[in-house]
A and B are shown apart, each in its own frame.
Chain A
């Protein structure tokens, strides 16, 4: 896998099919004015409350780096047809969202694009990080 990381302004959101839902509680952790996109291999999907997390291994200049993608509650994922069956370990995916703020961290939230490596869309639009927290 080749990692590809972009930092773009929020205007990118205009090309996303579904409008982003404001999630201010993600502000301390993720930068809503930027976008990051990576390609990687799913290692696990933890469907939990108050947050579910998707983990993937990403090749960054020959080094394997674990990315942590924050997602919504189990019910929210189910409404978007996202289950552990959808994102089995070993699945190659592209995912884009808001990048984490901490230096050296590898995380994102508020997914704007999630697709398999062959281009099959898994999700397009924002998956709320976790409303109400």
Chain B
């Protein structure tokens, strides 16, 4: 589902920003009133601020630091060494993906449904659907954001995502490390003292020797905040390239 279509869907099914719909029509047997959402699973819904008030801005050193920087295999090291900033897809408005988009310093909206959780990112107009109904991915489900399934575990939402496409900057925007179709991202979300916490773990046997992980948080957005459209402009996105000393002729 495209970001705009999903936004329209959310707009027609949601009340105030951040409130989860009570149910989906297809999931409710006729004549039965569903229990309140909060009693069925942990409530992490809402509009969340991932800006610099919440955490250090992403960079070469955040969220990946000396202590949690991934251990690259030889292939990963070779790709990183040869990386040329000019080929980064972001300069053509290709959105960032996991594990980077979670740390981009923008707002995120979480909507919980009985059969899915929708995460909508202000950055790059991206929407992820986390399926809770047990469905499996098919060969047609490879995509930039991959295929996500989830479950509730105590007070947390656990999300497992695979079926990513190869991405030359699939690790983050800063270190020139790619990710493969074998990338697997596991996310654990929970609320703590009114904040939304996330521990993300990344596996990719084609580039990493061992899993890498970071933990971050979002703060509650100001009441009434609405996500802004990103509407990336390809011309302005690539405009900085001519300011760079070319690595390759």
Identify the A interface with B (CB < 8 A).
21-26, 28-30, 46, 48-53, 68, 70, 75, 100-103, 105, 107, 109, 131-133
Contact = CB atoms under 8 A, between A and B. Distances in A.
B57 A22 contact: yes
B240 A70 contact: yes
A132 B173 contact: yes
A133 B230 CA distance: 13
Nearest to A46: B236
Interface stretch (B4-12, B108-116, B241-249): B241-249
A52 B236 contact: yes
Given A48-B236, A50-B236, A52-B236, A131 B243 contact: no
Given A25-B174, A105-B243, A131 B52 contact: yes
A28 B239 contact: no
Interface in B20-70: 51-52, 57-61
B242 A132 contact: no
Nearest to B123: A132
Given A21-B57, A22-B59, A50-B237, A131 B232 contact: no
Interface of B: 51-52, 57-61, 85, 90, 93, 96, 104-106, 123, 173-174, 228, 230-233, 235-237, 239-246
Given A46-B236, A49-B233, A51-B237, A132 B105 contact: yes
A24 B90 contact: no
B123 A51 contact: no
A105 B243 CA distance: 6
Q: Is the interface of B mostly helix, strand, loop or mixed?
A: loop
A29 B57 contact: no
A8 to B, nearest CB: 19
- Nearest 10 CB-CB pairings of A with B: A100-B243, A132-B104, A48-B236, A24-B59, A48-B233, A29-B243, A107-B243, A28-B85, A29-B244, A131-B105
Contact of B239 (A26, A51, A75): A51
Contacts of A101: 243-245
Contact of A68 (B60, B105, B174, B239): B239
B38 to A, nearest CB: 32
Contact of B243 (A21, A24, A50, A102): A102
Nearest to B125: A49
9 contacts: A22-B59, A25-B174, A48-B235, A53-B239, A100-B243, A102-B246, A131-B51, A132-B96, A132-B104
Contacts of A51: 236-237, 239-240
A21 to B, nearest CB: 7
Contacts of A70: 239-240, 243
A101 B245 CA distance: 6
A53 B244 contact: no
Nearest to B50: A132
A131 B236 CA distance: 15
Contacts of B244: 28-29, 100-102
A66 to B, nearest CB: 12
Nearest to A27: B60
A70 B236 CA distance: 9
A96 B174 CA distance: 25
Given A49-B231, A50-B232, A52-B236, A103 B245 contact: yes
A102 B245 contact: yes
Among A29, A30, A105, A109, the one with the most B-chain Cβ atoms within 10 Å of its Cβ is A29
Contacts of B106: 132
Given A46-B236, A52-B236, A75 B228 contact: yes
A48 B105 CA distance: 17
